[in-house]
Structure 1
């Protein structure tokens, strides 16, 4: 329920505040006073498109704020958005700048306008001229019939239909890509087989490159090693040419003798001994290295061939053996995925078949529920239309089989004829604006029990009707307000008389800017306002007497 509404710089409204309660609230005022601005402001809280044109001239922004009593489900949704209630009430705000930028707030949390609309749409509905137009659509007519029929299978049907649509799209993609997958799988298998045949190991290419270089440079390596060995061990042909090992040994002997005579040379003797040992070890190692430098043409041929095999892989699958092995790992996983596509196709086909059976059964049950509810709802609405001065109106819901869709396998069409002898035709094509208003009101009254606690706003529900019909519209709104909050913008005193609360929208002109304000009327003020609405003379004794009688009549009707 909407407990308060505040508008600031909205259209012709400078500042307006309404404290609202349960039951029926009427908004009245002279033509052009700004009544529709109140509805428009509420519409912006329900997600209506905002633009700079609604900002009052000279202001930098228009602001609409609403406070709501909301059910637990809506409160939970607000919490999910990061908002919170204020004293158990939800505060929503919509702001539009003079540049046309829009901002929405739900429970203190900034949200997109579409999210604001989703939240407030759970608790309030506006019925204006656009609502009449929507009533003419088959979609809205189906929604109304389902609201009355409430087929238990419909939620499951919608979920299954969405799943089937997704599964069918996936199956189509898999089947359409079957040839491409087969080609890709063949390519991957060829590559994996080629790699498996070579069977490379990590780092093998680097090791073989180093070994091949050693085998190719063998002669030069021997020359260098022999030179080093001769310098270390001495020449085998010239005994006078001592090597480093011999020279180091001689130096060691001299320093050992020196240390025997002078203790200060002990460190030098030790270092000479170490040098002599290191030189001997190095000479031995160089000799061992020379022994290993044996020409091996067969090994060189083997290494060269192996490197050629690895090069064949690195040209196709990666710059190094590690990259080739990584390609093989990812390709194996991809091949498993491709090979599993056939299994996926079989699974999807089976699931679609199961869903088709379930959908057909649920669609049949939904259709049966709709046909059963169609006659009852139409009969109840015809009774309401008779009370709204349309005693001969014919109205029925045509439920026609069609191929299954997201909402079942029916086309729902509301057929209407205002006069006897006329063949019922689609409502949107044959009903006038006033007739649409009354059909819409009749439907809401009948369905009110299915939507208790909702806030309904009616704008121009009495368009095109006279005083007698206005009384019946007032009674129906009063009945709807027994379980819901109803706000009606009306120009008929016969409707406003049934209100539990009455607000008047008045305009003032300072010579430059016209502004509108809203104020609640006391009981004695209501009589004057109703008299103005009936005849335009709030001071007329006759008008005041008629207005008082009208109020009394409405109160007796309430009792």
Structure 2
């Protein structure tokens, strides 16, 4: 409940302190006195989007403070907790608007954003008027209003849960179909590539080993001829033969050389031994350089095949085995894909059945709630002198979604036999006000702790109809709080608390203020509303009669 409202330097309001009470609070005053400014200021502290320029001329900043009582269980407690703001049984909102347009807000002396203010305002205040824009005239919000009236949250939760399951099943099936289609598009390539890789069957490290063997063979081919020549030069036809001849010649004349050839002959013997070792080593080396030309051809052919496949698939030669395994896995997925897809389709069908069952139950509950709402609104229209008008909650099928498969729209027909249509298009100004009031009376039964503000909702009606409007407002305020801005004396007379909005001009400065009215002041104010500028005794008598009847 709105307890207090303090306004400083906002538009033509200099300083204003208001204390509101439970029940029906009425605000009256002449046109242009500043009633809309009062609502603009309240909307400002609640974070609503409104006028851009709010600071009073000559002031550095404007400020509004609103104090609300919060009983246990009030929805605002959850908003405060989620925002990490202090709670309690009192909520104080404060917002400042600087001359430069900068806005700063506090909740219980803690800085907060405009989004938090707006979230709180949804739990604190509802504004309704002839040009209601907070849900009743907007068909987009009618389904939520009907759901609140019907009060079947378990069914709504079941539909949301079933929709999530259906959405997930659809995504899983779509992803599987897409993946399978992608694999099928390259099936020929996959099977050919796997066959080619399987035939070659490369192993990690094989390319480096083949390359080393190839290089060794190529190197042996280049040096073998020279090694063979060296072996020949060391053999019988070369150094060995020449040394043998020299030894025989020397030995043949040694006995006549008186010992002079003994040392050379011994040296040649040693040289023979070393020459034999050298020849043996060269012969062994030559044997090691021998290779099969066909083997070299086979090595080169396999090496080039491995390298060619690596280039073809854009992978390193040592990664061909892993690449082949990946391709085999994709083929396996293709072979398994139809079975998996069948299972996913079965799961989606089950999810669709679950959703259809849940949404069907919700649709049935909505139809039952719509019938009850139509009866309830009809009962409220009779006291408002619209007993011949027809209100109908129209439900049509729409594309299924998380909130079900129903489109809800409130339609009216002002006279029997007349075509029905949307509230905003069919009803006249006065009729619209009464339709909105009747609808709000019915819908408000599902709400608690919300201050309802009606801005000239009685415009265009008078006499007995205005009295009926006032009485419905008073009934709506029972156990709660309703603020009404009104030009109707019948409505004003039914208020439990009465304020008058006044405009004053001092010098060249215009200000607006709000004053609480005593019982005597109320007589004069209601008389003014009855008679206009000139208040007569007859008008005062009428005012007293209205107050007495209230």
Is the structural similarity TM-score above 0.5? Answer: yes
- What is the distance in 2 between the residues matched to 1:199 and 1:500? 95
Alpha-carbon spacing, 1:199–1:74, altered in 2? closer, same or farther (3 Å): farther
Question: How far, CA to CA, are the matches of 1:110 and 1:97 in structure 2?
Answer: 16
Written as runs of structure 1 = structure 2, the 5 A alignment for 1:125-524 is 125-131=126-132, 135-151=136-152, 153-161=155-163, 163-164=165-166, 167-168=169-170, 171=173, 175=177, 179-184=181-186, 187-188=189-190, 190-206=192-208, 208-218=210-220, 294-296=289-291, 297=293, 300-321=296-317, 324=320, 327=323, 342=338, 345-390=341-386, 392-397=387-392, 399=394, 402=397, 405-406=400-401, 407-408=403-404, 412-419=408-415, 422=418, 426-509=422-505, 514-521=510-517
Give the Cα separation in 2 of the matches to 1:95 and 1:218: 94
Measured at CA, do residues 197 and 446 of structure 1 come closer, stay the same or move farther in structure 2, by a change above 3 Å?
A: same
Distance change (3 Å), C-alpha of 1:501 and 1:324: farther
The match for 1:38 is 38
Contact 2:373 / 2:393 at 8 angstroms: preserved in 1?
no
User: Offset at 1:486?
Assistant: 1.9
CA pair 97-343 structure 1, distance change in 2 beyond 3 A: farther
Structure 1 residues 105 and 303, CA gap change in structure 2 (3 angstroms):
farther
The within-5 A match list for 1:93-104 is none
Which residue of structure 2 aligns with residue 52 of structure 1?
Answer: 52
Distance (whole Å) between structure 2 residues aligned to residue 300 and residue 348 of structure 1: 55
Render the CA deviation track for 1:67-100: whole Å, top value 9, x for unaligned.
Answer: 442736543343333x212444455566667677
Task: Say if 2:206 and 2:318, in contact at 8 Å, map to a contact too.
Answer: no
Aligned partners of 1:132 and 1:436 also within 8 Å: no
Paired with 2:333 and 2:44, the residues of 1 have a C-alpha distance of: 51
How many residues are treated as equivalent by the alignment?
Answer: 496
Deviation of 1:388 (Å):
1.7
Separation of aligned partners in 1, 2:303 and 2:472: 94
Instruction: Measure the CA separation in 2 of the matches of 1:221 and 1:41.
Output: 103
Note the C-alpha offset of 1:461. 0.9
Cα separation, partners in 2 of 1:522 and 1:176, compared to 1, 3 Å: farther
Alignment CA distance shift 1:60-1:342 (3 Å) = farther
> Given the superposition, is the C-alpha separation of residues 13 and 341 from structure 1 closer, same or farther in structure 2, using an over 3 Å criterion?
farther
Q: 1:438 Cα shift?
A: 0.8
CA apart distance, 1:526? 4.2
- The change in CA–CA distance for 1:448 and 1:319 in structure 2 (over 3 A counts) is closer
1:367–1:545 Cα change, 3 Å = same
Whole-Å separation in 1 of the counterparts to 2:502 and 2:329 = 75
The alignment status of 1:85 with 2:86, answered yes or no, reads yes
CA distance change for structure 1 residues 216 and 147 in 2, over 3 Å: closer, same or farther?
same
Gaps of 5+ in 2: 228-238, 241-280
Return the alpha-carbon distance in structure 2 between the equivalents of residues 62 and 325 of structure 1.
76
Equivalent in 77, 97, 105 of residue 75 of structure 1: 77
Partner of 1:29: 29
- The offset of 1:186, in angstroms, is 5.1
The 1:105–1:193 alpha-carbon spacing in structure 2 relative to 1, beyond 3 Å, is: farther
Are 2:121 and 1:120 equivalent residues in the alignment?
yes
Structure of higher CA gyration radius: 2
- Which digits, 9 at most, give the CA deviation of each residue in 1:425-475, with x for residues without a partner? 554432111111111111222233222222322112111111433332222
The answer (yes or no) to whether the contact 1:452–1:483 under 8 Å persists in 2 is no
- Kept after mapping to 2: 8 A contact 1:529/1:538: no
RMSD, aligned α-carbons: 4.7
Aligned mates of 2:330, 2:60 — CA distance in 1: 59
Match of 1:263 in 2: none
Displacement of 1:169 = 6.3
Alignment gaps of 5+ in structure 1: 226-236, 239-285, 555-559
- Relative to the length of structure 1, the TM-score reads 0.70
The offset of 1:310, in angstroms, is 2.6
